[in-house]
A and B are shown apart, each in its own frame.
Chain A
Amino acid sequence: MLESLLAGFEAALRIDTFVWMTGGLLLGMLMGALPGFTTTMGMSVLMPIAFLVGDPLIGIPFLIGVYKGGIYGGSVPAILISMPGTAASVVTVFDGHELAKQGKARKALEMALFASVASDFCSDLLTLVMIIPVAAVVLGFGPPEIAAIMFLSLVIVSVTSTGPALKGLIMLGLGLWFGFVGADPFSAMARYTFGTSELYDGFHLIPMLIGLFALPEIFNAVRIGETRGGRVASLVGERLSGAELKRSVRTIVRSTGIGTVVGLVPGLGQTVAAMMGYIAAKNASKHPENFGKGELDGVAAAEAANNAVNGPTMVPLLTLGIPGDNVTALLLGAFMMQGLRPGPTLLESSGPIVFGILFAMLLANIIFLIAGYLTIPLFTRVVTIRKTLLIPITIMLAFAGTYLARSNPFDILTLISFGVVGIVAKKADFDVMPMVMGFILGRELEYTFGQTISLAGDSLLQYAFTERLGMTAIVIATPVLGTLLGRRMNRLRRQDLARRAL
């Protein structure tokens, strides 16, 4: 094994591998930055290039570059124009765009980049070291455990939402309900579709996110009717200082841990990781009331968590041949086209190449840092564009991005409807985050819970206590954790109110 490790390291130090990986990273960033153009779509389009090259140490690092770049790239429009480029960057909007409005776009983007690169690097390193021992653990997470994690996440989201608890619960409930629209996943019966075929699939996440986050910003800007000179911010702001970065180190480490674990569980994904990382950071912070109002730590938490997912998703793929999501399914195809068969024999039969790919992944982070750093000054210019120019561009991006995702005209209606929901919510001072999370987590909870019932057969209780102790432990811990977190949040909320009253 050590020999393959060393051989792999040598194999990764190739100039052509680097050049291709850099190309992949830049393309990925560009695609991630285009709203509606998901990382999966980008990889799928670029896939033929990877197999035409015909060398696994070029083709696969190229695609991995696209993957990494895409997940980071999504944070650029999230910060600059409040439009999450990919679903993974939705949590970045909360604080990222606030910072941009305060004239700190550059700080926010640099924080996003550093957090992404640092966590990506650490999680890749962990992947490389742990790939063999961890593979066995992965199979321990079945639908029952995922359902329990989803349940726990929902409880945490509801007790840690900003503002009055009741408002948070209402939004969460709305999100859950929106998630129910469409065919139910077990009998394909239509729910709340009002007889239309368009709603049969339910609401699509991308138009929903763009509608909720970007349209209210656009509406605000237009309504205020600023004079011609209006800009998002008058300046791109200063660079991120060393002290600021240092302050977020703990958050980055925490989010990296969260993201790594989430990445190992097949099917949880970047959005859930970002949300968990964000909530954990908010909870650990001395000033949770600053979250959502332009807290650099919030950007670091979300971006570190979503990028940390990338490396570990490779573990079930490489060792068991099991793709957890569409991105890894594409990578599986890419591996096979290069004559490599992910699965239990891959490390033995092609150890050096696999370790070579993993090392290339690790080294990609260095290029990632440089490429990202060099492009930030370019991107940040966006905030200084006159609003009379920027708003039409933003509107175009919102609509084009929505259409691009699935070429479905109905999604435009979804976009506008959720835009209205977002505007009303903002006006009534409702936080939309619980709604988005209710939508994402609720669907997942319903599906995995249905699977669990199906697996359990006659007695769910018996199944839970004999075969699914992991799930049972999480479910029992949930109310305890929820109460503790809720109390803490309430206390801080009261302190904040008292401070404001003074």
Chain B
Amino acid sequence: MGSRRVGLFLALLFAAAQASAQYPARPITLITPYAAGGSHDLNARVFTTFIQRHLGQAMIIKLVPGEAGQKGTLEAIRAPADGYTLIFTDNYRDQLYQHTFANEFYDTNADLISVARINYGQVGLVVRGDSPYRTWADLEADARARPGALKFSHSGLWAAFFVTASQIMQDRDLRFRLVPYRGGGPAKAALLAADVDVSAAFPATLGADIEVGAVRVLGTAGTERTLAGVPSFAELGISQSTGFMHRVVMAPTGVPDDRLARLRRAFAELQSDPAYLAAMAQLGENTEYMDGVEYEAERVAQSREYEALAHSLAGR
């Protein structure tokens, strides 16, 4: 009896050792510092469903909303750096917030390291179909003539569309009256109801509205055109990084190199999984994946830019 127990114990010990040699040996927790139902939640539901095949373990979403994302970020940073806790965040939460809120608890650049950029959202500037503004030049001329008169609906303080509007105002030396709404949906409703003059939106959410002529897109983020006949922000004289929301998976700094490499490899493999690509396409999201190493370089540039933006907005 006794020897059998010892045997069992040894077998278990062996199994455990075997398992720990093979990371990941148990499911991985993915903290998302957002509420249920937002675009991050939806994106995460999709890739966590398919990553299992490439990682050999499930990835479980843990929603930790609150304190404008600081709560979830802090929880990820304080978690053991063993590769079993990751965070799914974006460039604003990662790089901008620390300059805007009184934050004495962490420095994301030192405390988190990129695993993979899943995709990005490119913001477009939109007006109603019956708006007098045919082009960005029309809108800009009016905004210059009447500073602070044009109403711009955005998705909430320090969220993607607010930052985009602020960056545009800074780049073009304009002033809109920024009206906050609880998320992109209500911000779009305000535009359609003619409560505001201009808004921002991810073009993927506008498909049918553009088709029926309910809205007109005046420009989209980046240096290249993404919609036929719609100029890019670069053509309009708006800086290149404006309106880019990167959705990124990160790990606490200090995660062993082999585990980080394993995670990065799984996300790289995911990019050739047809089921994953199809699901993301249905959701209307792109799959412009970027390797963690490459994204790390981008982060440094972002950090400087956002710090300057935050200081100029706070000084206003």
- Which of A's residues lie within 8 Å of B, judged by CB? 38, 40-41, 43-44, 47-48, 51-52, 139-140, 142-143, 183, 185-188, 190, 197, 200-201, 266-267, 316, 320-327, 329-330, 332-333, 336-339, 341, 343-346, 406-408, 447, 450-451, 454-455, 457
Taking a contact as CB atoms closer than 8 A, the residue among B48, B181, B193 that contacts A451 in the complex is B181
Query: Interface segment, B18-26, B208-216, B229-237, B260-268?
Result: B208-216
Taking a contact as CB atoms closer than 8 A, the residue among B36, B158, B208 that contacts A44 in the complex is B36
CB contact under 8 A between A183 and B179, given known A48-B45, A321-B209, A326-B35: no
Q: Collect the chain A residues with CB atoms within 8 Å of residue B279's CB.
A: 51, 337
Number of A-B contacts (CB under 8 A): 151
Is B269 part of the binding interface, using a Cβ–Cβ cutoff of 8 Å?
Answer: no
State in angstroms the CA–CA spacing of A341 and B177 once bound together.
Answer: 31
CB contact under 8 A between A329 and B151, given known A44-B37, A139-B193: no
Asked if A457 and B207 sit within 8 Å, CB to CB, the answer is no
Is B49 part of the binding interface, using a Cβ–Cβ cutoff of 8 Å?
Answer: yes
CB contact under 8 A between A41 and B36, given known A333-B283, A406-B66, A408-B71: yes
Taking a contact as CB atoms closer than 8 A, the residue among B36, B66, B102, B209 that contacts A330 in the complex is B36
Is B138 part of the binding interface, using a Cβ–Cβ cutoff of 8 Å?
Answer: no
Asked if A329 and B68 sit within 8 Å, CB to CB, the answer is no
Asked if A188 and B185 sit within 8 Å, CB to CB, the answer is no
Asked if B157 and A457 sit within 8 Å, CB to CB, the answer is no
Asked if B101 and A188 sit within 8 Å, CB to CB, the answer is yes
Task: Find the residue from B149, B196, B283 having the highest chain A CB count within 10 A.
Answer: B283
Taking a contact as CB atoms closer than 8 A, the residue among B45, B63, B157 that contacts A185 in the complex is B157
- Which of B's residues lie within 8 Å of A, judged by CB? 35-38, 41-42, 45-46, 48-49, 62-68, 70-71, 75, 100-102, 105, 148-149, 151, 157-158, 177-183, 185-186, 188-190, 192-193, 195-196, 205, 207-209, 211-212, 214, 279, 282-284
Q: Collect the chain A residues with CB atoms within 8 Å of residue B66's CB.
A: 201, 406, 408
Asked if A341 and B208 sit within 8 Å, CB to CB, the answer is yes
5 CB contacts below 8 A, A to B, read: A48-B45, A323-B183, A330-B42, A454-B178, A457-B151
State in angstroms the CA–CA spacing of A457 and B195 once bound together.
Answer: 12
Taking a contact as CB atoms closer than 8 A, the residue among A322, A330, A338, A406 that contacts B189 in the complex is A322
Asked if A266 and B37 sit within 8 Å, CB to CB, the answer is no
Task: Find the residue from A186, A267, A338, A450 having the highest chain B CB count within 10 A.
Answer: A267
Using A188-B157, A323-B183, A341-B208 as known contacts, list a sample of 13 further A-B pairs with CB atoms less than 8 Å apart, ordered by residue number in A. Answer: A139-B192, A186-B157, A201-B68, A266-B189, A322-B192, A336-B284, A343-B208, A345-B212, A406-B64, A408-B64, A454-B178, A455-B195, A455-B196
State in angstroms the CA–CA spacing of A394 and B102 once bound together.
Answer: 39
